[in-house]
Amino acid sequence: MSAKTTSMDRRSQPRLTCRSKDQAVNEQRPHALLIDGKAVAAREVEETAAAAQELIARGVRPGLAVVLVGEDPASHVYVRSKGKAAESCGFHSVQHTLPASTSEASLVALVEKLNDDPAIHGILVQLPLPGQIDAARVLETIAPGKDVDGFHPVNAGLLAIGDVSRALVPCTPAGSMILLREAARDLNIKLAGLEAVVVGRSNIVGKPMAQLLLAENCTVTIAHSRTNDLAATVGRADVVVAAVGRPEMIRGDWIKPGAIVIDVGINRVPGEGLDKNGKARTRLVGDVEFESAAMRAGAITPVPGGVGPMTIAMLMKNTLKAAVRSASLQKR
């Protein structure tokens, strides 16, 4: 299937899709358009950096504070990536690394201090937190206007009532929506009126994703691992968003022909053979059985290289948005 865009669209927009090697060999074999999250994320970061320079010229430098508690290796990798992205955008970037023994009271006190710091416009507390800390209490301590993760009940409430413009939207759903809109444009279809199924009901991805799809006038179903006849539910969807956290749970033959598939899952599973250090190889897969799904879908995000890069890009965008709002408030 090929995209139906005008020549002007192709010149002015980043290319979202490419052909597989198999398709290049056999043009008669159907294959979904691949949604290039890396390219779109790079564009979003570039636009954010340019807008940040304009804001800095007006005397406001966006500031992002990231708080890391404990020694979780994956969290350290994520935090380093976020810090590098913030610096590349020209932000004032601060990282607070605390020991795993940190008390809840101490973490709350730090968040309150960051709330009061005018140089900080965005606060992110990296999850998961150690067992002695109530994550909900910590996240609710963050000022809603600095909640660049979009997890505060105020931001969740604004999204739930459809006031998307006032909310700081969770980064992964926000990035997924950008990829979905551009895939729909590439396929020359409108999202309004389409049937969308979100597989996963978390507060971080599933529920906010459903709200964003509703804002696009889709007809939305939230499904999950206990949904009766999940295959039939997924099979009627024009848009499938997989965010259930189970490797390749969504089978390729469930996908409706021509559907747009956004795979949010990132799961590490056993690979083949040993690496150079003699350890068993692993590989990353999504929540969707990619190869078979790609033979039926109209467009699909790969894992890795799909939704993942968009999450950090949207974090930068939320931080800029918070800084702009802060500057507007200071003028009043």
Q: Which pairing describes strands 195-199 and 239-242: parallel, antiparallel, or unpaired? A: parallel
What is the per-residue pLDDT for 318? 98
- How far, in Å, CA of 98 to CA of 130, rounded? 11
- How far, in Å, CA of 325 to CA of 331, rounded? 10
Q: Burial, 274: exposed, middle or buried (Cβ in 10 Å; 0-12, 13-18, 19+)? A: exposed
Q: What number of other Cβ atoms are within 10 A of residue 22's Cβ?
A: 12
Burial 250-273 (b: 16+ CB within 10 A, else e): bebebbbeebbbbbbbbbeeeeee
Termini Cα distance of the chain:
52
Query: Cis before residue 118, ω within 30 degrees of 0?
Result: no
pLDDT tens for 85-123 read 999 999 999 999 999 999 999 999 999 999 999 999 999
What is the per-residue pLDDT for 52? 97
Per-residue pLDDT of the chain (332 residues; tens, 9 = 90+): 444 333 334 334 444 544 443 443 344 445 899 999 999 999 999 999 999 999 999 999 999 999 999 998 888 898 999 999 999 999 999 999 999 999 999 999 999 999 999 999 999 999 999 999 999 999 999 999 999 999 999 999 999 999 999 999 999 999 999 999 999 999 999 999 999 999 999 999 999 999 999 999 999 999 999 999 999 999 999 999 999 999 999 999 999 999 999 999 999 999 888 888 888 899 999 999 999 999 999 999 999 999 999 999 999 999 999 999 998 855 54
Residues with a known catalytic role: 82, 126, 149
- How far, in Å, CA of 118 to CA of 143, rounded? 12
How far, CA to CA in Å, does 313 sit from each of 41, 47, 115?
Answer: 6, 10, 23
Dihedral sign for Cα atoms in the order 122, 172, 43, 94:
positive
What is the per-residue pLDDT for 29? 46
Domains of the chain (ranges; CATH) run 59-152 (3.40.50.10860), 170-309 (3.40.50.720)
Cβ-based neighbours of 281, under 8 Å, separated by 6 or more: 270, 271, 272, 273, 274, 275
How far, CA to CA in Å, does 119 sit from each of 58, 102, 204?
Answer: 14, 25, 27
- How much is the pTM? 0.89
- How far, in Å, CA of 310 to CA of 246, rounded? 20
Q: Which pairing describes strands 280-285 and 267-274: parallel, antiparallel, or unpaired? A: antiparallel
Q: Burial, 85: exposed, middle or buried (Cβ in 10 Å; 0-12, 13-18, 19+)? A: buried
pLDDT tens for 161-214 read 999 999 999 999 999 999 999 999 999 999 999 999 999 999 999 999 999 999
Please name which of 189, 175, 166 lies closest in space to residue 298, comparing C-alpha atoms. Answer: 189
Give me 93's structure tokens. 């970037």
Give the number of residues written for the chain.
332
What is the per-residue pLDDT for 26? 40
